[in-house]
Amino acid sequence: MTSLTVTNLRKSFGALQVTDDVSLSGAPGEIHAIIGPNGAGKTTLIAQLSGQLASDGGSVAIGDRDVTRLSMPERVRLGLARSFQITSVLPGFTALENVALAVQARDGSSFRFFGTVAKEEPLNAAALTSLRDAGLDHRADVLAKSLSHGEHRRLELAIALATQPKVLLLDEPLAGVGGEDADNFVENLSKLKGRFTMLLIEHDMDAVFALADRVSVLVYGRIIATGSPSDIRNDPEVRAAYLGEEEGEAA
């Protein structure tokens, strides 16, 4: 398994410092959650980690490989996958076909659309495995446009899993997902735990505390605390800056 190491990462937009000297790590096989209020810089940070957005300073490493200056596709080839918010799902293709295309891209094959992909058994088998890991194999033959919101999230996860990631960036996977769907999604992520390193950005505190080995709190672009879920839950500064507000809203 592979680690993720972020060192003194910075990003400004004009005079606004959005990522302010951020350092964090994801140990091999762990789930490291990043939490923080709206406007904390979480979206910018994950865009920097994925290669979508260039950083002004600092470094990002996958294992021993410095990927700071690499493009998003280059980072994917080295095992960094980002799920949600930037994943392209083809609505007129079935869940299986969408994931099969991701498997095909991973293997470096040329794309063959209009139904031929799903007829290739090796692609089918690999795609079905990813769908099963995401808890969506029972909907393999359903068009993506006919899936519910929660199922769409599972499809995006399956597409990310099809790239065989070493490090998986989970960008608010439970956004808009509630009730039993959310519980099932958390259970699925729990089953994936230990297979690769995961960096989880999420507002659902129940999910964060159920899944994370470590939690970092991002406020105004800076990490103000990092520790175990229990440490973070009981940290007075964190409660004042974020958790108190969240718990108040939940009440």
Q: State pLDDT tens for residues 84-121.
A: 644 568 899 999 999 998 888 777 655 555 455 556 77
pLDDT at 218 over 80: yes
For the residues 5-13, what does the mean pLDDT come to? 97
Q: Give the pLDDT of residue 246.
A: 53
Share the mean pLDDT of the chain.
88
Q: Give the pLDDT of residue 249.
A: 46
- Least confident interval from 21-35, 70-84, 96-110: 96-110
For the residues 127-133, what does the mean pLDDT come to? 95
**Apex 57 CA angle, 53 and 60, nearest 5:** 65
Q: Is 56 helix (H, G, I), strand (E, B) or coil?
A: coil
Separation CA 160–CA 207 (nearest Å): 20
Residues 6+ apart with CB under 8 A from 24: 6, 32, 34, 216, 223, 226
Ordered DSSP codes for 106-170: HTTPPP-TTTTGGG-HHHHHHHHHHHHHTT-GGGTTSBGGGS-HHHHHHHHHHHHHHT--SEEEE
For the residues 117-133, what does the mean pLDDT come to? 84
Per-residue pLDDT band for 54 (boundaries 50, 70, 90) equals very high
Q: Give the pLDDT of residue 250.
A: 41
pLDDT at 21 over 90: yes
More confident residue, 247 or 170: 170
pLDDT at 79 over 70: yes
Q: Domain extents for the chain?
A: 1-79+165-251, 90-164
The answer to whether the beta carbons of residues 90 and 146 sit under 8 Å apart is no
* CATH class of the structural domain 1-79+165-251: alpha beta
Report the range out of 21-25, 74-78, 171-175 with the highest average pLDDT: 21-25
User: For a pLDDT cut of 90, what percent of the chain falls above it?
Assistant: 67
| 171-200 pLDDT tens trace | 999 988 888 889 999 999 999 999 999 999
